[in-house]
A and B are shown apart, each in its own frame.
Chain A
């Protein structure tokens, strides 16, 4: 049983959403959707799992907070106790308000950079990588649904795509 790749191209995101509901209802998996902007509500329809990026972000943030705390504790308390503004020094706890802004900044820095780098690595977006986008028009005004169907289902699927408003159906 051989499979063919099918590109259903829509002019409108709502039409594509309806098309995806229909295709999934027929028991065919939508492999991927390419669009010029994020389509709200498409993820549950085509069965994309929730992103785990927030969990990464939380871990990076905690790392940043700990790093900053350790750095300041080492620099200001252990290695070279410094008196700033007449505050009681030699103690981290007594001086905690002074350390909050740096902890906060470091948390944000690590969370944001870590999250961005993770995102680029996970989606393999970097200079010199071959784009995965099958049709450059989806970066402009077209919405593409990527399907892999059995040869015998081809007619049925194509009809369903056309019926829900696909302007083109390309078989690759």
Chain B
């Protein structure tokens, strides 16, 4: 039985090709995005290109971040079912440093006025004398002042990145040196419990800071959970598809059908969580019809022509898993899981697209080579980092208290 994953040249070439397409898409996007709106001063800022950068940075960072959350959840809940796929989860979390780096780069470039996705980063909106003065944003100056904003940002990045490295380091340590009485494992359990509390607050504030603030005049209390649920389901889909792919290549033989079934249940359940939050955010705003809240959906549906992307994102991400993954047999069928998983993966990317684009390029949105190319490029980078890390450690953990339970999982 093959216990160590080899990152074959063929798989590497596949990642390189994706990244190559991405690079062409990136350059193409930068050069050709001439039809995006100008800012107030009439400057041309490559908004479409930068908006795509933000969509993909957030989407793929979110996958590894929610993966870290999911891993911490397994530790804190002392879950037995997931031990055989723990290394796959860890590999997915290993993209986190890269993803956080990309997000930080986006924010720093915004602060340096290289792009203006974040309207509030422009100092003129706080200046009463300036024609760009915006009383609404000036009201939020305390929260968005750069020292406070970057203190928060660095806080999230450092703590999350640190916890992710710690989980990984200790997990490998337990493998190599033995772990009598599971001391190292229970250290991770403790870290996970603390991390979950920290993450519970910061996942919301992070999405307000990094994502909701592009619609700076609008706010929603559902937004943090809604964007978190989106990243979580994408992470589960990624873990499931990687597991099934590894299994089809002859790895991970200890992963039981019941484990796959459990992953399918997670996919089903978290899709519902996401749909619930998405719909509740929409319904409450639609029902109360308060002008400053309803603009968010009014612009998207009536002004900027996002009706179809929004309906598609909601219906595919809700009805596909609901109808197709309802039965037990479907959740145990790898073909079904891969098909439904790939669909909702792409349409959760579209959901992030719907979060970012209306606020940045307004009605000038496209899904052409720039968008698809950059998505594929980031996917290639993500897979390359994840598979590289997957090859660095044995696929099956050793010295884990629930390893035996997981190998004989039966539901």
Contact = CB atoms under 8 A, between A and B. Distances in A.
Interface stretch (B19-27, B182-190, B282-290): B282-290
A33 B288 CA distance: 56
Nearest to A84: B287
Contacts of A85: 287-289
Contacts, number: 23
A98 B283 contact: yes
Contacts of B282: 97
Interface string A112-153: 000000000000000000000000000000000000000000
Given A54-B327, A54-B328, A98-B287, 17 more contacts: A40-B410, A41-B410, A50-B328, A58-B326, A85-B287, A85-B288, A86-B289, A87-B287, A87-B289, A97-B279, A97-B282, A97-B283, A97-B286, A97-B287, A98-B283, A100-B279, A101-B283
A119 B289 CA distance: 44
Contacts of A98: 283, 287
Interface string A10-33: 000000000000000000000000
User: In the complex, which range does the number of interface residues on chain B fall in?
Assistant: 10 to 19
B180 interface: no
A58 B326 CA distance: 10
Contacts of B283: 97-98, 100-101
Nearest to B285: A97
B268 to A, nearest CB: 13
16 contacts: A40-B410, A50-B328, A54-B327, A54-B328, A58-B326, A85-B287, A85-B288, A85-B289, A86-B289, A87-B287, A97-B282, A97-B286, A97-B287, A98-B287, A100-B279, A101-B283
Interface of B: 279, 282-283, 286-289, 326-328, 410-411
Interface of A: 40-41, 50, 54, 58, 85-87, 97-98, 100-101
A101 B279 CA distance: 10
A83 to B, nearest CB: 13
A106 B328 CA distance: 24
Nearest to B282: A97
A57 to B, nearest CB: 10
Contact of A40 (B288, B326, B411): B411
A17 to B, nearest CB: 10
A41 B408 CA distance: 10
Contacts of B289: 85-87
A34 to B, nearest CB: 20
A87 B285 CA distance: 13
B326 to A, nearest CB: 8
A85 B290 CA distance: 11
| Minimum-distance CB pairs A-B, first 7 | A41-B410, A40-B410, A97-B283, A97-B286, A85-B287, A98-B287, A85-B289
B198 to A, nearest CB: 32
A98 B327 CA distance: 29
Contacts of A41: 410
